[in-house]
Structure 1
Protein backbone atom coordinates (compact mmCIF):
# COMPACT_ATOMS: atom_id res chain seq x y z
CA UNK A 1 0.00 0.00 0.00
CA UNK A 2 1.09 3.58 -0.63
CA UNK A 3 1.95 5.39 2.58
CA UNK A 4 -0.44 8.31 3.31
CA UNK A 5 0.94 11.81 2.74
CA UNK A 6 0.87 13.81 5.98
CA UNK A 7 1.23 17.54 6.57
CA UNK A 8 4.89 16.94 7.47
CA UNK A 9 5.49 15.42 4.03
CA UNK A 10 4.20 18.44 2.10
CA UNK A 11 6.52 21.09 0.69
CA UNK A 12 10.22 21.30 -0.11
CA UNK A 13 12.48 19.07 1.93
CA UNK A 14 16.27 19.26 1.70
CA UNK A 15 17.70 15.74 1.48
CA UNK A 16 21.34 16.62 0.88
CA UNK A 17 23.41 19.76 1.20
CA UNK A 18 26.38 20.21 -1.18
CA UNK A 19 29.59 18.65 0.09
CA UNK A 20 31.51 21.92 -0.11
CA UNK A 21 29.20 24.84 0.60
CA UNK A 22 32.11 27.27 0.32
CA UNK A 23 32.17 26.83 -3.47
CA UNK A 24 28.96 28.77 -4.08
CA UNK A 25 29.68 29.28 -7.78
CA UNK A 26 29.55 25.51 -8.38
CA UNK A 27 26.42 24.71 -6.36
CA UNK A 28 23.19 23.74 -8.12
CA UNK A 29 19.71 22.92 -6.83
CA UNK A 30 18.04 19.63 -7.79
CA UNK A 31 14.32 19.25 -7.05
CA UNK A 32 12.43 15.95 -7.42
CA UNK A 33 8.63 15.91 -7.77
CA UNK A 34 6.53 12.76 -7.50
CA UNK A 35 3.39 11.74 -9.40
CA UNK A 36 -0.23 11.19 -8.39
CA UNK A 37 -1.15 8.44 -5.97
CA UNK A 38 2.40 8.41 -4.63
CA UNK A 39 4.37 9.36 -1.54
CA UNK A 40 6.95 12.17 -1.97
CA UNK A 41 9.74 10.13 -0.38
CA UNK A 42 8.85 6.53 -1.21
CA UNK A 43 8.56 7.33 -4.94
CA UNK A 44 12.36 7.48 -5.12
CA UNK A 45 13.02 4.36 -3.05
CA UNK A 46 13.71 0.71 -3.74
CA UNK A 47 13.72 -2.20 -1.34
CA UNK A 48 17.27 -3.55 -1.43
CA UNK A 49 16.46 -6.02 1.33
CA UNK A 50 13.77 -8.69 1.37
CA UNK A 51 10.01 -8.69 1.78
CA UNK A 52 10.49 -9.98 5.32
CA UNK A 53 13.32 -7.56 6.18
CA UNK A 54 12.94 -4.52 3.90
CA UNK A 55 15.72 -1.97 3.54
CA UNK A 56 14.63 1.12 1.67
CA UNK A 57 17.24 2.87 -0.47
CA UNK A 58 16.45 6.39 -1.68
CA UNK A 59 18.57 7.09 -4.76
CA UNK A 60 18.17 10.83 -4.29
CA UNK A 61 20.24 10.92 -1.12
CA UNK A 62 22.20 7.66 -0.84
CA UNK A 63 25.90 8.44 -0.76
CA UNK A 64 26.80 6.28 -3.77
CA UNK A 65 23.86 7.34 -5.95
CA UNK A 66 22.78 10.87 -6.99
CA UNK A 67 25.08 12.64 -4.48
CA UNK A 68 28.03 10.74 -5.96
CA UNK A 69 27.47 12.18 -9.45
CA UNK A 70 26.28 15.59 -8.24
CA UNK A 71 28.48 16.38 -5.21
CA UNK A 72 27.93 20.13 -5.58
CA UNK A 73 24.14 19.85 -5.55
CA UNK A 74 21.64 20.73 -2.89
CA UNK A 75 19.15 17.90 -3.40
CA UNK A 76 15.51 18.46 -2.49
CA UNK A 77 12.18 16.83 -3.07
CA UNK A 78 8.77 18.50 -3.23
CA UNK A 79 5.71 16.85 -1.71
CA UNK A 80 2.00 17.49 -2.22
CA UNK A 81 -1.27 15.70 -1.49
CA UNK A 82 -1.57 13.28 -4.39
CA UNK A 83 -4.04 10.64 -3.23
CA UNK A 84 -7.09 10.74 -5.48
CA UNK A 85 -8.68 7.44 -4.47
CA UNK A 86 -9.19 5.59 -1.21
CA UNK A 87 -9.58 6.94 2.30
CA UNK A 88 -8.33 10.53 2.50
CA UNK A 89 -8.65 11.17 -1.25
CA UNK A 90 -8.35 14.87 -2.17
CA UNK A 91 -9.11 16.99 -5.21
CA UNK A 92 -5.96 18.23 -6.87
CA UNK A 93 -5.02 20.31 -9.93
CA UNK A 94 -1.68 20.69 -11.68
CA UNK A 95 -2.00 24.48 -11.65
CA UNK A 96 -2.56 24.52 -7.87
CA UNK A 97 0.42 22.28 -7.17
CA UNK A 98 2.56 24.33 -9.58
CA UNK A 99 1.72 27.58 -7.78
CA UNK A 100 2.58 26.10 -4.40
CA UNK A 101 5.82 24.73 -5.81
CA UNK A 102 6.77 28.22 -6.99
CA UNK A 103 6.02 29.64 -3.55
CA UNK A 104 8.20 27.00 -1.92
CA UNK A 105 11.06 27.62 -4.37
CA UNK A 106 10.85 31.36 -3.80
CA UNK A 107 11.25 30.89 -0.05
CA UNK A 108 13.95 28.23 -0.23
CA UNK A 109 16.03 30.00 -2.91
CA UNK A 110 15.61 33.52 -1.52
CA UNK A 111 19.36 34.04 -1.11
CA UNK A 112 20.30 32.32 -4.38
CA UNK A 113 17.56 33.21 -6.86
CA UNK A 114 19.69 32.54 -9.93
CA UNK A 115 21.44 29.38 -8.81
CA UNK A 116 21.23 26.69 -11.57
CA UNK A 117 18.14 24.54 -11.12
CA UNK A 118 17.42 20.98 -12.28
CA UNK A 119 14.03 19.26 -11.96
CA UNK A 120 13.44 15.51 -11.75
CA UNK A 121 9.77 14.62 -12.19
CA UNK A 122 7.66 11.48 -12.34
CA UNK A 123 4.33 11.20 -14.19
CA UNK A 124 1.92 13.99 -13.16
CA UNK A 125 4.84 15.75 -11.46
CA UNK A 126 6.26 16.51 -14.90
CA UNK A 127 3.13 18.43 -15.86
CA UNK A 128 3.40 20.35 -12.59
CA UNK A 129 6.97 21.33 -13.50
CA UNK A 130 5.97 22.52 -16.99
CA UNK A 131 3.13 24.63 -15.59
CA UNK A 132 5.39 26.13 -12.92
CA UNK A 133 8.06 27.04 -15.48
CA UNK A 134 5.54 28.66 -17.81
CA UNK A 135 4.07 30.70 -14.95
CA UNK A 136 7.57 31.72 -13.87
CA UNK A 137 8.44 32.80 -17.40
CA UNK A 138 5.21 34.78 -17.70
CA UNK A 139 5.82 36.70 -14.45
CA UNK A 140 9.56 36.93 -13.82
CA UNK A 141 9.07 39.71 -11.29
CA UNK A 142 6.95 37.45 -9.09
CA UNK A 143 9.08 34.34 -9.60
CA UNK A 144 12.60 35.66 -10.26
CA UNK A 145 15.22 33.20 -11.40
CA UNK A 146 13.07 30.08 -11.66
CA UNK A 147 12.66 29.93 -15.43
CA UNK A 148 15.94 31.63 -16.34
CA UNK A 149 17.98 29.39 -14.01
CA UNK A 150 16.43 26.05 -14.98
CA UNK A 151 19.16 24.23 -16.90
CA UNK A 152 17.94 20.63 -16.87
CA UNK A 153 14.70 18.63 -16.84
CA UNK A 154 14.45 14.87 -16.30
CA UNK A 155 11.04 13.27 -16.84
CA UNK A 156 10.05 9.73 -15.89
CA UNK A 157 6.85 8.54 -17.55
CA UNK A 158 5.29 11.99 -17.90
CA UNK A 159 2.26 11.73 -20.24
CA UNK A 160 2.87 14.84 -22.35
CA UNK A 161 0.18 13.78 -24.83
CA UNK A 162 -2.02 11.95 -22.36
CA UNK A 163 -1.87 8.46 -20.90
CA UNK A 164 -2.69 6.47 -24.01
CA UNK A 165 -3.64 2.87 -23.39
CA UNK A 166 -4.88 3.77 -19.89
CA UNK A 167 -8.22 5.47 -20.52
CA UNK A 168 -9.85 7.57 -17.85
CA UNK A 169 -12.95 5.37 -18.01
CA UNK A 170 -10.94 2.19 -17.38
CA UNK A 171 -9.06 3.73 -14.48
CA UNK A 172 -12.22 5.08 -12.87
CA UNK A 173 -13.99 1.74 -13.22
CA UNK A 174 -11.06 0.00 -11.56
CA UNK A 175 -11.03 2.54 -8.73
CA UNK A 176 -14.77 2.32 -8.13
CA UNK A 177 -14.60 -1.46 -7.92
CA UNK A 178 -12.24 -1.08 -4.97
CA UNK A 179 -13.53 2.05 -3.21
CA UNK A 180 -16.70 3.89 -2.28
CA UNK A 181 -17.93 6.70 -4.55
CA UNK A 182 -16.95 9.36 -2.01
CA UNK A 183 -13.42 7.90 -1.89
CA UNK A 184 -12.71 8.65 -5.56
CA UNK A 185 -11.74 12.14 -6.78
CA UNK A 186 -11.40 11.80 -10.58
CA UNK A 187 -10.69 15.45 -11.44
CA UNK A 188 -6.92 14.95 -11.50
CA UNK A 189 -7.27 12.27 -14.19
CA UNK A 190 -8.74 14.69 -16.68
CA UNK A 191 -5.36 16.25 -17.38
CA UNK A 192 -4.01 12.78 -18.28
CA UNK A 193 -6.66 12.17 -20.93
CA UNK A 194 -5.31 12.44 -24.52
CA UNK A 195 -6.60 15.66 -26.09
CA UNK A 196 -7.12 17.44 -22.77
CA UNK A 197 -7.07 21.19 -23.48
CA UNK A 198 -4.97 22.12 -20.44
CA UNK A 199 -2.46 19.37 -21.21
CA UNK A 200 -2.08 20.40 -24.85
CA UNK A 201 -1.72 24.08 -23.96
CA UNK A 202 0.98 23.47 -21.34
CA UNK A 203 2.99 21.12 -23.54
CA UNK A 204 2.70 23.29 -26.65
CA UNK A 205 3.65 26.48 -24.80
CA UNK A 206 6.63 24.81 -23.18
CA UNK A 207 7.70 23.46 -26.56
CA UNK A 208 8.01 27.03 -27.79
CA UNK A 209 10.46 27.83 -24.98
CA UNK A 210 12.78 25.17 -26.37
CA UNK A 211 13.53 27.51 -29.27
CA UNK A 212 15.24 29.94 -26.90
CA UNK A 213 19.02 30.16 -26.90
CA UNK A 214 19.26 29.40 -23.17
CA UNK A 215 16.76 26.54 -23.24
CA UNK A 216 16.90 23.84 -20.58
CA UNK A 217 18.25 20.43 -21.56
CA UNK A 218 15.52 17.77 -21.46
CA UNK A 219 15.75 14.00 -20.92
CA UNK A 220 12.66 11.75 -20.98
CA UNK A 221 12.38 8.15 -19.80
CA UNK A 222 9.37 5.90 -20.19
CA UNK A 223 8.40 2.25 -20.01
CA UNK A 224 7.66 0.15 -23.08
CA UNK A 225 5.62 -2.52 -21.33
CA UNK A 226 1.85 -2.10 -21.11
CA UNK A 227 0.24 -1.29 -17.76
CA UNK A 228 -2.20 -3.53 -15.93
CA UNK A 229 -5.09 -1.17 -15.23
CA UNK A 230 -6.72 -3.70 -12.93
CA UNK A 231 -3.75 -3.48 -10.59
CA UNK A 232 -3.53 0.30 -10.64
CA UNK A 233 -6.22 0.67 -8.00
CA UNK A 234 -5.78 -2.66 -6.26
CA UNK A 235 -5.45 -2.40 -2.51
CA UNK A 236 -2.66 -4.98 -2.51
CA UNK A 237 -0.59 -3.89 -5.52
CA UNK A 238 -0.90 -0.23 -6.43
CA UNK A 239 0.62 1.23 -9.57
CA UNK A 240 0.10 4.46 -11.45
CA UNK A 241 1.47 5.83 -14.71
CA UNK A 242 3.20 2.52 -15.35
CA UNK A 243 5.31 2.59 -12.16
CA UNK A 244 4.83 0.10 -9.36
CA UNK A 245 4.53 1.65 -5.93
CA UNK A 246 6.68 0.20 -3.21
CA UNK A 247 5.03 -1.90 -0.57
CA UNK A 248 5.82 -0.53 2.85
CA UNK A 249 6.39 -2.53 6.02
Structure 2
Protein backbone atom coordinates (compact mmCIF):
# COMPACT_ATOMS: atom_id res chain seq x y z
CA UNK A 1 0.00 0.00 0.00
CA UNK A 2 1.42 3.39 -1.01
CA UNK A 3 1.73 5.88 1.81
CA UNK A 4 -0.41 9.00 1.20
CA UNK A 5 1.47 12.05 -0.06
CA UNK A 6 0.78 15.16 2.01
CA UNK A 7 1.72 18.81 1.55
CA UNK A 8 4.71 18.13 3.81
CA UNK A 9 6.06 15.64 1.26
CA UNK A 10 5.82 17.82 -1.85
CA UNK A 11 8.48 20.10 -3.29
CA UNK A 12 12.25 19.82 -3.04
CA UNK A 13 13.82 18.10 -0.05
CA UNK A 14 17.59 18.24 0.41
CA UNK A 15 18.74 14.77 1.43
CA UNK A 16 22.48 15.42 1.51
CA UNK A 17 24.28 18.76 1.44
CA UNK A 18 27.54 19.11 -0.44
CA UNK A 19 30.59 19.47 1.84
CA UNK A 20 31.29 23.12 2.65
CA UNK A 21 34.67 23.09 0.92
CA UNK A 22 33.13 21.54 -2.22
CA UNK A 23 30.04 23.76 -2.46
CA UNK A 24 31.99 26.62 -4.05
CA UNK A 25 34.08 24.45 -6.37
CA UNK A 26 33.49 23.53 -10.01
CA UNK A 27 33.34 19.86 -9.00
CA UNK A 28 30.09 20.39 -7.06
CA UNK A 29 26.88 19.19 -8.73
CA UNK A 30 23.19 19.15 -7.88
CA UNK A 31 21.42 15.78 -8.21
CA UNK A 32 17.61 15.80 -8.25
CA UNK A 33 15.49 12.63 -8.16
CA UNK A 34 11.84 12.63 -9.33
CA UNK A 35 9.40 9.77 -8.71
CA UNK A 36 6.62 8.36 -10.89
CA UNK A 37 2.83 8.34 -10.55
CA UNK A 38 1.09 6.67 -7.64
CA UNK A 39 4.33 6.74 -5.63
CA UNK A 40 5.55 8.42 -2.47
CA UNK A 41 8.44 10.91 -2.99
CA UNK A 42 10.59 9.19 -0.36
CA UNK A 43 9.38 5.58 -0.33
CA UNK A 44 9.84 5.42 -4.11
CA UNK A 45 13.62 5.16 -3.58
CA UNK A 46 13.53 2.73 -0.64
CA UNK A 47 14.23 -1.00 -0.55
CA UNK A 48 13.97 -3.44 2.33
CA UNK A 49 17.50 -4.74 2.91
CA UNK A 50 16.29 -6.80 5.86
CA UNK A 51 13.52 -9.38 6.15
CA UNK A 52 9.73 -9.26 6.21
CA UNK A 53 9.80 -9.81 9.96
CA UNK A 54 12.65 -7.35 10.59
CA UNK A 55 12.61 -4.77 7.78
CA UNK A 56 15.56 -2.46 7.19
CA UNK A 57 14.44 0.19 4.78
CA UNK A 58 17.25 1.83 2.81
CA UNK A 59 16.86 5.01 0.79
CA UNK A 60 19.80 4.79 -1.61
CA UNK A 61 19.61 8.51 -2.35
CA UNK A 62 20.69 9.36 1.19
CA UNK A 63 22.28 6.24 2.74
CA UNK A 64 25.90 7.22 3.48
CA UNK A 65 27.41 4.21 1.69
CA UNK A 66 25.31 4.60 -1.45
CA UNK A 67 24.69 7.70 -3.62
CA UNK A 68 26.45 10.13 -1.22
CA UNK A 69 29.53 7.87 -1.40
CA UNK A 70 29.30 7.70 -5.20
CA UNK A 71 28.92 11.50 -5.46
CA UNK A 72 30.72 12.95 -2.41
CA UNK A 73 30.76 16.50 -3.83
CA UNK A 74 27.07 16.56 -4.72
CA UNK A 75 24.05 18.17 -3.14
CA UNK A 76 21.42 15.42 -3.39
CA UNK A 77 17.73 16.31 -3.50
CA UNK A 78 14.43 14.74 -4.35
CA UNK A 79 11.35 16.47 -5.75
CA UNK A 80 7.90 15.35 -4.62
CA UNK A 81 4.46 15.96 -6.08
CA UNK A 82 0.99 14.53 -5.44
CA UNK A 83 0.59 11.79 -8.03
CA UNK A 84 -2.29 9.66 -6.75
CA UNK A 85 -4.92 9.33 -9.49
CA UNK A 86 -7.36 7.01 -7.68
CA UNK A 87 -8.68 6.61 -4.16
CA UNK A 88 -8.83 9.17 -1.40
CA UNK A 89 -6.82 12.28 -2.29
CA UNK A 90 -6.82 11.58 -6.04
CA UNK A 91 -5.38 14.52 -8.02
CA UNK A 92 -6.24 15.88 -11.46
CA UNK A 93 -2.61 16.18 -12.47
CA UNK A 94 -0.64 16.46 -15.71
CA UNK A 95 3.03 16.55 -16.76
CA UNK A 96 3.10 20.24 -17.71
CA UNK A 97 1.71 21.27 -14.31
CA UNK A 98 4.27 19.21 -12.40
CA UNK A 99 7.05 20.48 -14.69
CA UNK A 100 6.18 24.12 -13.94
CA UNK A 101 6.19 23.46 -10.19
CA UNK A 102 9.53 21.66 -10.53
CA UNK A 103 11.04 24.65 -12.33
CA UNK A 104 9.79 27.03 -9.65
CA UNK A 105 11.30 24.82 -6.93
CA UNK A 106 14.63 24.50 -8.74
CA UNK A 107 14.86 28.24 -9.29
CA UNK A 108 14.33 28.86 -5.58
CA UNK A 109 16.70 26.13 -4.42
CA UNK A 110 19.47 27.01 -6.91
CA UNK A 111 19.23 30.79 -6.52
CA UNK A 112 22.76 31.02 -5.11
CA UNK A 113 24.20 28.58 -7.67
CA UNK A 114 22.10 28.82 -10.86
CA UNK A 115 24.89 27.55 -13.10
CA UNK A 116 26.01 24.62 -10.99
CA UNK A 117 25.92 21.36 -13.02
CA UNK A 118 22.61 19.56 -12.66
CA UNK A 119 21.90 15.82 -12.96
CA UNK A 120 18.36 14.41 -12.95
CA UNK A 121 17.35 10.90 -11.87
CA UNK A 122 13.76 10.02 -12.79
CA UNK A 123 11.44 7.03 -12.60
CA UNK A 124 8.62 6.41 -15.08
CA UNK A 125 6.33 9.48 -15.42
CA UNK A 126 8.97 11.54 -13.60
CA UNK A 127 11.16 11.30 -16.69
CA UNK A 128 8.46 12.92 -18.84
CA UNK A 129 8.19 15.71 -16.27
CA UNK A 130 11.94 16.28 -16.62
CA UNK A 131 11.73 16.47 -20.42
CA UNK A 132 8.90 19.02 -20.24
CA UNK A 133 10.71 21.10 -17.62
CA UNK A 134 13.92 21.19 -19.65
CA UNK A 135 12.13 22.18 -22.85
CA UNK A 136 10.34 25.00 -21.02
CA UNK A 137 13.63 26.13 -19.45
CA UNK A 138 15.34 26.06 -22.84
CA UNK A 139 12.65 28.27 -24.39
CA UNK A 140 12.74 30.79 -21.51
CA UNK A 141 16.35 30.92 -20.18
CA UNK A 142 15.86 34.32 -18.53
CA UNK A 143 12.88 33.03 -16.56
CA UNK A 144 14.62 29.80 -15.57
CA UNK A 145 18.31 30.80 -15.40
CA UNK A 146 20.85 28.02 -15.74
CA UNK A 147 18.44 25.09 -15.54
CA UNK A 148 18.68 23.91 -19.15
CA UNK A 149 22.20 25.21 -19.80
CA UNK A 150 23.57 23.52 -16.68
CA UNK A 151 21.88 20.14 -17.04
CA UNK A 152 24.69 17.71 -17.75
CA UNK A 153 23.19 14.29 -17.03
CA UNK A 154 19.83 12.53 -17.33
CA UNK A 155 19.14 9.11 -15.84
CA UNK A 156 15.80 7.48 -16.65
CA UNK A 157 14.36 4.37 -14.99
CA UNK A 158 11.52 2.88 -17.02
CA UNK A 159 10.36 6.17 -18.54
CA UNK A 160 7.73 5.37 -21.22
CA UNK A 161 8.98 7.62 -24.03
CA UNK A 162 6.63 5.82 -26.43
CA UNK A 163 3.96 4.90 -23.91
CA UNK A 164 3.41 2.19 -21.29
CA UNK A 165 2.21 -0.97 -23.01
CA UNK A 166 1.64 -3.12 -19.94
CA UNK A 167 -1.97 -2.23 -19.27
CA UNK A 168 -4.15 0.07 -21.34
CA UNK A 169 -5.65 3.23 -19.93
CA UNK A 170 -9.12 1.72 -20.33
CA UNK A 171 -8.16 -1.39 -18.36
CA UNK A 172 -6.68 0.73 -15.57
CA UNK A 173 -9.79 2.89 -15.38
CA UNK A 174 -12.15 -0.09 -15.37
CA UNK A 175 -10.15 -1.71 -12.56
CA UNK A 176 -10.10 1.52 -10.53
CA UNK A 177 -13.82 2.13 -10.98
CA UNK A 178 -14.60 -1.35 -9.71
CA UNK A 179 -12.81 -0.43 -6.48
CA UNK A 180 -13.62 3.26 -6.02
CA UNK A 181 -16.41 5.77 -6.50
CA UNK A 182 -16.42 7.77 -9.74
CA UNK A 183 -15.30 11.00 -8.04
CA UNK A 184 -12.32 9.14 -6.53
CA UNK A 185 -10.81 8.36 -9.94
CA UNK A 186 -8.89 11.08 -11.80
CA UNK A 187 -7.59 9.51 -15.04
CA UNK A 188 -6.07 12.61 -16.63
CA UNK A 189 -2.50 11.78 -15.64
CA UNK A 190 -2.79 8.40 -17.42
CA UNK A 191 -3.36 10.00 -20.82
CA UNK A 192 0.30 10.77 -21.48
CA UNK A 193 1.25 7.14 -20.75
CA UNK A 194 -0.94 5.79 -23.55
CA UNK A 195 1.05 4.69 -26.63
CA UNK A 196 0.42 7.13 -29.46
CA UNK A 197 -0.57 10.00 -27.16
CA UNK A 198 -0.09 13.22 -29.14
CA UNK A 199 1.40 15.23 -26.27
CA UNK A 200 3.85 12.41 -25.50
CA UNK A 201 4.96 12.13 -29.13
CA UNK A 202 5.48 15.87 -29.45
CA UNK A 203 7.35 16.03 -26.14
CA UNK A 204 9.80 13.31 -27.14
CA UNK A 205 10.16 14.66 -30.69
CA UNK A 206 10.90 18.19 -29.45
CA UNK A 207 13.45 16.95 -26.94
CA UNK A 208 14.98 14.75 -29.62
CA UNK A 209 15.77 17.86 -31.65
CA UNK A 210 17.83 19.25 -28.77
CA UNK A 211 20.00 16.13 -28.96
CA UNK A 212 21.50 17.52 -32.15
CA UNK A 213 23.09 20.40 -30.23
CA UNK A 214 26.78 20.47 -29.39
CA UNK A 215 27.82 19.65 -25.82
CA UNK A 216 24.56 17.85 -25.08
CA UNK A 217 23.81 16.24 -21.73
CA UNK A 218 24.73 12.61 -21.17
CA UNK A 219 21.69 10.31 -21.15
CA UNK A 220 21.35 6.86 -19.58
CA UNK A 221 18.15 4.83 -19.92
CA UNK A 222 17.47 1.78 -17.75
CA UNK A 223 14.79 -0.69 -18.82
CA UNK A 224 13.19 -3.63 -17.04
CA UNK A 225 13.66 -7.32 -17.81
CA UNK A 226 10.94 -8.65 -15.50
CA UNK A 227 7.18 -8.34 -15.80
CA UNK A 228 5.01 -6.66 -13.14
CA UNK A 229 1.62 -7.41 -11.64
CA UNK A 230 -0.03 -4.28 -13.00
CA UNK A 231 -3.50 -5.53 -12.11
CA UNK A 232 -2.77 -5.29 -8.39
CA UNK A 233 -2.10 -1.55 -8.67
CA UNK A 234 -5.78 -0.69 -8.49
CA UNK A 235 -7.68 -3.96 -8.14
CA UNK A 236 -7.67 -7.57 -7.05
CA UNK A 237 -7.19 -9.27 -10.41
CA UNK A 238 -3.69 -10.40 -11.39
CA UNK A 239 -2.35 -9.08 -14.71
CA UNK A 240 1.32 -9.97 -15.17
CA UNK A 241 2.85 -7.88 -17.95
CA UNK A 242 5.80 -5.74 -18.92
CA UNK A 243 5.00 -2.08 -18.22
CA UNK A 244 7.68 -0.32 -20.30
CA UNK A 245 9.45 -2.26 -23.04
CA UNK A 246 13.06 -1.76 -24.07
CA UNK A 247 12.01 0.16 -27.20
CA UNK A 248 9.73 2.49 -25.22
CA UNK A 249 12.14 2.90 -22.29
CA UNK A 250 15.04 4.18 -24.42
CA UNK A 251 14.94 7.84 -25.42
CA UNK A 252 16.43 7.07 -28.83
CA UNK A 253 18.39 4.36 -30.58
CA UNK A 254 21.54 6.40 -31.19
CA UNK A 255 24.87 5.90 -29.48
CA UNK A 256 24.31 9.24 -27.72
CA UNK A 257 21.97 7.43 -25.32
CA UNK A 258 23.43 4.74 -23.07
CA UNK A 259 21.07 1.83 -22.48
CA UNK A 260 21.15 -0.64 -19.60
CA UNK A 261 18.94 -3.60 -18.72
CA UNK A 262 17.98 -4.34 -15.13
CA UNK A 263 16.86 -7.77 -13.90
CA UNK A 264 13.95 -6.11 -12.13
CA UNK A 265 10.29 -5.26 -12.57
CA UNK A 266 9.04 -1.78 -13.34
CA UNK A 267 8.15 -1.10 -9.73
CA UNK A 268 11.46 -2.07 -8.13
CA UNK A 269 13.95 -1.01 -10.80
CA UNK A 270 14.58 2.29 -8.99
CA UNK A 271 15.19 0.72 -5.58
CA UNK A 272 18.55 -0.43 -4.24
CA UNK A 273 19.38 -1.75 -0.77
CA UNK A 274 23.13 -2.39 -0.80
CA UNK A 275 26.11 -0.81 -2.60
CA UNK A 276 27.27 -4.28 -3.64
CA UNK A 277 24.18 -5.00 -5.78
CA UNK A 278 25.22 -5.51 -9.40
CA UNK A 279 22.59 -3.09 -10.71
CA UNK A 280 23.70 -0.40 -8.27
CA UNK A 281 27.29 -0.88 -9.40
CA UNK A 282 26.15 -0.19 -12.98
CA UNK A 283 24.33 2.93 -11.83
CA UNK A 284 27.40 3.99 -9.86
CA UNK A 285 29.55 3.92 -13.00
CA UNK A 286 26.96 6.00 -14.89
CA UNK A 287 26.67 8.64 -12.16
CA UNK A 288 30.42 8.96 -11.68
CA UNK A 289 31.01 9.38 -15.42
CA UNK A 290 28.36 12.11 -15.61
CA UNK A 291 29.82 13.97 -12.65
CA UNK A 292 33.35 13.78 -14.02
CA UNK A 293 32.23 15.23 -17.35
CA UNK A 294 29.98 17.92 -15.87
CA UNK A 295 32.46 20.80 -15.25
CA UNK A 296 33.98 20.55 -18.73
CA UNK A 297 30.56 20.25 -20.35
CA UNK A 298 29.18 23.38 -18.68
CA UNK A 299 32.37 25.31 -19.43
CA UNK A 300 32.23 24.29 -23.09
CA UNK A 301 28.62 25.43 -23.40
CA UNK A 302 29.25 28.87 -21.96
CA UNK A 303 32.44 29.29 -23.96
CA UNK A 304 30.46 28.47 -27.10
CA UNK A 305 27.70 30.91 -26.10
CA UNK A 306 30.03 33.82 -25.43
CA UNK A 307 32.18 33.18 -28.50
CA UNK A 308 29.15 33.38 -30.79
CA UNK A 309 27.40 36.29 -29.09
User: TM bucket by the smaller chain?
Assistant: over 0.9
Rg (Cα) greater in structure:
2
Aligned partner of 1:243 in structure 2 is: 267
CA RMSD in angstroms comes to: 2.0
- Give the alignment of 1:1-249 within 5 angstroms: 1-22=1-22, 23-234=24-235, 242-244=266-268
Contact 1:89 1:183 in 2 (8 A): yes
For structure 1, list consecutive stretches of 5 or more residues without a partner in the other structure.
none
Q: State the distance in 1 between where 2:185 and 2:80 align.
A: 21
Q: State the distance in 1 between where 2:161 and 2:17 align.
A: 32
Is the deviation greater in 14-23 or in 201-210? 14-23
Contact 1:174 1:229 in 2 (8 A): no
Q: State the distance in 1 between where 2:124 and 2:232 align.
A: 17
**Structure 1 SS opposite 2:8:** helix
**Structure 2 SS opposite 1:121:** strand
For structure 2, list consecutive stretches of 5 or more residues without a partner in the other structure.
245-265, 272-309
**Structure 2 SS opposite 1:21:** helix
Distance 1:19 1:134, change over 3 A: same
Contact 1:93 1:188 in 2 (8 A): yes
What TM-score do you get using the length of structure 2 for normalisation?
Answer: 0.75
Detail structure 1 runs of 4+ shifted over 4 Å in the superposition.
Answer: none
Contact 2:16 2:76 in 1 (8 A): yes
Q: State the distance in 2 between where 1:19 and 1:48 align.
A: 28
Q: State the distance in 2 between where 1:165 and 1:54 align.
A: 30
Q: State the distance in 2 between where 1:175 and 1:117 align.
A: 37
How many residues in Structure 1 have an aligned counterpart in Structure 2?
A: 245
Contact 1:31 1:78 in 2 (8 A): yes
What TM-score do you get using the length of structure 1 for normalisation?
Answer: 0.93
1:226 Cα deviation after fit? 2.8
Contact 1:170 1:229 in 2 (8 A): no
Distance 1:236 1:106, change over 3 A: farther
Q: State the distance in 1 between where 2:229 and 2:236 align.
A: 14
Contact 1:12 1:77 in 2 (8 A): yes
1:227 Cα deviation after fit? 2.9
Q: State the distance in 2 between where 1:74 and 1:41 align.
A: 16
